[in-house]
Copies of this chain bind each other. A is one copy, B any other.
Amino acid sequence: MSWTRKDLLDLQSLTAEEIQTVLETARAFKAVGERVIKKVPALHGKTVVNLFVEPSTRTRTSFQLAAQRLSADIINFTAEASSLKKGETLKDTARNLEALNADFIVIRHSAAGAPHFLARVLQAHVVNAGDGAHEHPTQGLLDLFTMLEKKGRLAGLQVTILGDILYSRVARSNIWGLQKLGAQVTLCGPPTLVPRSFAELGCRVTHVLEEAIEAADVINLLRIQHERQRKSMFPSLGEYTSLFGINRQRLAAAKPDVLIMHPGPINRGVEVDSEVADGEQSVILEQVTNGLAIRMAALFLLNGGKAPQPAPAG
């Protein structure tokens, strides 16, 4: 149950046991967030750099709070402000941050593999906060954590991921993590965004919403990214909503205790109605709270912290 990796880059390369170690450690840190004093001294004197070359307020803020609550110092280093605009390479930027004694580099980048590249050239711990359409491992872990907390198990759980699977790093991290821990994954959305080839990863693929939700224990909705979606792939928002948008009426065909999840921010009225997003099946805000616990756990373990004794869950 001990953690030996220098970096957290993806869920594809983690073992089921390593994933469980993070989940169990996060459970302990979630309790910290409920205390009056929400800080522990674990990373006192350490420096965490948020290197966000692609904008993100939520994930950056979550990592910042995680670092603060572990008593680390934190530097936000965004692309707009950075020397990357002056033609400096990512490698030079990262090496300079390491030369400033950075202990952790949390990186978000539009290029898949950028965190893996940094992990090879740096001695600092590298945490992938989202790389292109590849992976977003802390999002995957917080999704697993939330499902486990709410459903009591991951093995045998029926999880449907709905939306733009093709370009989603959230979907990929979910797929790897869920399958390693024994859940069964169904992917659903328009054929252009959910190619049959995903079946090779062991997922069930369907383009019919009813088939995707009837047996689901969890429906994980992906954000429709207006700003990024290619036109040729994606006819119109109205058409997407009419075919795949989740509302109360459609949810009547699902199990009564189905969990509704979403990585946020929500497009209300597009991929999900407000009635459902704010309803009692929704755990969207708990995902946010759990994300903080997962990120504290990740930084803590990478720093050499010891995982708590495993509970008999999983």
Q: Which residues of A contact B (CB under 8 A)?
A: 33, 35-39, 44-47, 55, 57-58, 61-62, 64-65, 68-69, 73, 75, 77, 81-83, 86-89, 92-93, 95-101, 226-227, 264-268, 285-286, 288-289, 292
Is B47 in contact with A37, judged by CB distance below 8 angstroms? no
Is B57 in contact with A46, judged by CB distance below 8 angstroms? no
Is B65 in contact with A75, judged by CB distance below 8 angstroms? yes
A218 to chain B, nearest CB (A): 19
Is A77 in contact with B101, judged by CB distance below 8 angstroms? no
Query: Hey, which chain B residues are within 8 Å of A93, CB to CB?
Result: 265
Bound complex: CA of A75 vs CA of B55, how far in Å? 16
Task: Show 12 A/B contacts (Cβ-Cβ < 8 Å), sorted by A.
Answer: A35-B45, A38-B46, A38-B47, A57-B77, A58-B83, A61-B75, A65-B101, A68-B73, A69-B73, A83-B264, A92-B264, A92-B266
Q: Which partner residue on chain B sits nearest A38 by CB separation?
A: B45
Is B57 in contact with A82, judged by CB distance below 8 angstroms? yes
Q: Which partner residue on chain B sits nearest A65 by CB separation?
A: B100
Which of A33, A77, A86, A95 has the most CB atoms of chain B within a 10 A radius of its CB? A86
A94 to chain B, nearest CB (A): 11
A90 to chain B, nearest CB (A): 12
A225 to chain B, nearest CB (A): 9
* A265 touches which of B44, B86, B266, B268 (Cβ 8 Å): B86
* A289 touches which of B86, B100, B265 (Cβ 8 Å): B100
Query: Hey, which chain B residues are within 8 Å of A69, CB to CB?
Result: 73
Query: Hey, which chain B residues are within 8 Å of A98, CB to CB?
Result: 285
Q: Which partner residue on chain B sits nearest A93 by CB separation?
A: B265
A68 to chain B, nearest CB (A): 4
A77-B61 contact in complex given A38-B101, A45-B37, A101-B38, C-beta closer than 8 Å: yes
Is A47 in contact with B65, judged by CB distance below 8 angstroms? yes
A54 to chain B, nearest CB (A): 13
A1 to chain B, nearest CB (A): 24
Is A65 in contact with B73, judged by CB distance below 8 angstroms? yes
